[in-house]
Chain A
Amino acid sequence: MYGKGLRALSISTVVAMALALALVFFYAPLEAEQGFLQKIFYLHVPLAIVALCGFVLGGLLAIQHLRTREARWDMRSYVVIHMSLIFGVATLITGSIWAKGSWGHWWVWSEPTLVSFLIVFLLYATYQPLRFAIEDPERQSRYASVFAVTAGAFVPMNFIAVRLSTAYLHPRVLGSSSNLPGPMKLTFMVSLLAIALLFATLCKYELTAKHTRQQVRQLRRRLAGDGDAAPRRGRSAVPSLQGVTAMSAPSSGRTGL
C-alpha cells in the first residue's frame, strides 16, 4: 500500500526540518558579502534542486509507464511532477525575495539562472492542461508520459546551458557547494536532505490520498451493483488507477491501460 512507511517518513521529515532550521539560524556563520540575507540560500537552493530533480524523476517514472503500461507509474509520474511544480512556485517566490534584497529588484531578466528556471517551470505548467485536454484515459496517460520524458530530458540540458553561459550575475554566494566552508556545507546538506524528505513525504501523502479515494469510488460502484462496469469518469487531469483490477494492491495493479 502507498501508506506504508508514511508515519516514519513524516517523523523523519519533521526532525530533519527542525535540525535544518536550527543549523541555519544558530550554527551556520554569516556570509561576508551578503550577511544575514544569505540565509535564504539554505532554503531557495535546496527547493530548486529538489524541484528540478523531481521533474527528472517524473520523466524516469514516465519511461517506466511507457515500458510497462501500468497505471501506477503514470500516477507516480503525475504526483511527482505536480509536487515539483509546487516546489517550483516556492523556488520562484523565494528567489524573487532574495533578488529584491540583494539587487533591489524582484526579477532580473538578464540573469540566465532565473530565466531558465522560469522556462522550465512554464514548460511543466502546461502538463496539467495537456492532461485535461485529453479525455480518453489511455491516450491521456500515454501523451502525458511522452511529455514528461521529453521535458525531463530538457531539464539537465537547460542546467548545463546555464552553467556554460558566461554571465555570472546571479548572487553566487559561493560558486558551488564544494567551495562552501565546513559549517555552511553541513547546514546546506542538512537543508537539502530536509527539503528532499519533505518532497518525498508530500508525494507519499498525495499518492495515498488519491489511491484511497479511487478505492472508495470503486467500493461505491460495487455496492451500487455495477462493480464490473467501466468506471464513469468525467474529464480530469488526474490519472486513474482504476481499471480491470482497481481494488487490487498497487503493486499488482496492472490495469490494462
Chain B
Amino acid sequence: MKRFAQLLELLALTPSRTRKLTALTQYFREVPDPDRGYALAVLTGALTFRNVKPALLKETVLREVDETLFAMSYDYVGDLGETIALIWPHHGDKGGLPRQEDLPGKGDLPGLTELIGLFNTTSKSELPKLIAGLLTQAEINERWALVKLATGALRIGVSARLAKTALAEMSGVPVQEIEEVWHGLKAPYLDLFAWLDGKAGRPDIDQSARFHPLMLSNPIDEEKDLGKLDPKDFSAEWKWDGIRVQLVLGGGTVSLFSRTGDDIAAAFPDVVENVHGRAVLDGELLVGKDFAPGTFNDLQQRLNKKVASAKHLRESPAFIRVYDMLFDGREDVRALGWTARRARLEAWFAANPQTRLDLSEVLPFTDWDDLGRQRRQGADEHGHEGVMIKLRTSPYVPGRPKGFWFKWKRDPNVVDAVLMYAQRGHGKRSSFYSDYTFGVWKGNEIVPIGKAYFGFTDEELKLLDKWIRANTLASFGPVREVKKELVFEVAFDSAQESTRHKSGVALRFPRISRIRWDKPASEAATLDDMAVFVGAT
C-alpha cells in the first residue's frame, strides 16, 4: 500500500505529464501481479466496491468527529476523501484492529490486493470497524490513498488514457491495441500484463459481442476549418439531442452501452427486447412515439431510473437513431470508409426490419453556406443541436481523431442574468467560490433560472471570488447569498419549462460566457425575455 500511496501522491502533485508517465511506467514494470493490475483498475476507474462507498466512510468518521465540525471542514477542504483523511483523529494506535491477525506485516497496512480483498469480503456490519482500524493504522499519505481507493474518486489528474499510455510505453504495444482489448478484460488484468510482458498472446475476446470504444468528433472552427475542407468530401447529418449509445446485437444476446461502456440495457427493455439481427451499431438513444424525438428532459426522466416504469414505457418509448456500423454480423467493418459502412448499414436495415431502430438521414447540401443555412433553420424550427459533418473516406477510429468527424453546433442563446448565490467548488477549484446560481427579473425580484460552474480564467476566478466574499449577504453552509449586483452573460443551448425552478424556466447546458462588470443589474433580462427561448424547442 505504501508504494501505491506514493504513486498516487506523485501523480496528484506532479504537473508534468512526462513525469507522471515515467512514474506509472516504472510502477507497472516493478510491482508484481496482481497488485499492479488492481492499481491499474483503480487508476482507470474500473474498480467499484459493493459495500464500501463514500457514505460508509463518512458515517465511520462521524462516529468519531462532531458533525458540524466535519461539515465546516468539508466546506473548507472541498474534497470529501481528503477531508476524511485529514480529519481522522486517531493515529498510530494499533490496538483494537479488527482481523488484525489476518493482516500481513506488523504496523504496515495490508498490500493493495489484500485491502481490496478485505473491502470485498468484509460484511457490511463489520466494515466500519475495519475502515476505522485501517484509517488509524495508516500514515497520513496512506490514509489519503486509502480513502481515495475506498471512495473511488481519485481526482489526481490522471485519465484512464494516460494509464493505458504508460502500459504502451512499458511494453511497446501501441495504445490503440490496448484499447481494443480493454473492454473485454477485468481486474487484475493478469492476461493483459502477460501479453504486454511478451509471455502470452493477445487476450482472446469475442470481438463482435462486446463494447468497442466510440469514435468522437471535434468541434468545427468556422473560420479556420471550413475554408480548408471541400464540402464534396463530406457527408452531413443532424446532431441529435439524446445520449450516444452502442448497441451490441450478439445473436441471442443484446447489450446496450453508454459512451463510456456502462451497460444501460436494464433501463431500456423496450429497445433491447425488440431489436433483431447481429451487428454492433452506433447511434443516439432518444425517446418519443413513432420515431419523433421528444425533449431531452423526457429522456432524462428515464435515464434517472435504473429500471423503467410502465408509465415511462407507455408515454416515453425509447428508440435508437442509428448512424454508424462497427460490425456487420461478425465482420469488423471499422477499417472501411464511411461511405462503404453506410452502404452496409442501409443493406443491413433492409435485411433486418426494425421497430425500435431507424436510420439517421443524410442531409444533402451544396456548400458550407447551404449547410450553415440548414443548421440555423433546423435549430430555429426543430430545436436541432446542430449538424455533424463526416469525412466520406474516414474509417471508424476509437477516440477523437483529428480531421474525420466534426460537430457544428447551433449558435448558443445568450441572456444577461444576475448572480444570486455562490458555492465553493470542489476538486481543482476547491475553496474558491466557483459554482454560481443566477436569475432574471420577475417584477421587482430576481428568480433563479440556472446554475453553472466557473468558466473563466484563473485570474477572473480570483477576482470573482473576491467580489463574492466582499458582497455576501448571508451564508448557508457552503453557499453564500450575494448582493444582486453582478451581471453574467450566460450562454445556453435551449430553455425548457420547469416545475423545479421558481422561475418556471430551466436552461440546458448553461455556461457563463462573460462577466459583465460594466453592466448594472437593472439592465439584466426579465422572465418575459426568456419566453421566446422556451417556445423555440
B and A form one assembly: no
Residues on A facing B (Cβ under 8 Å)? none
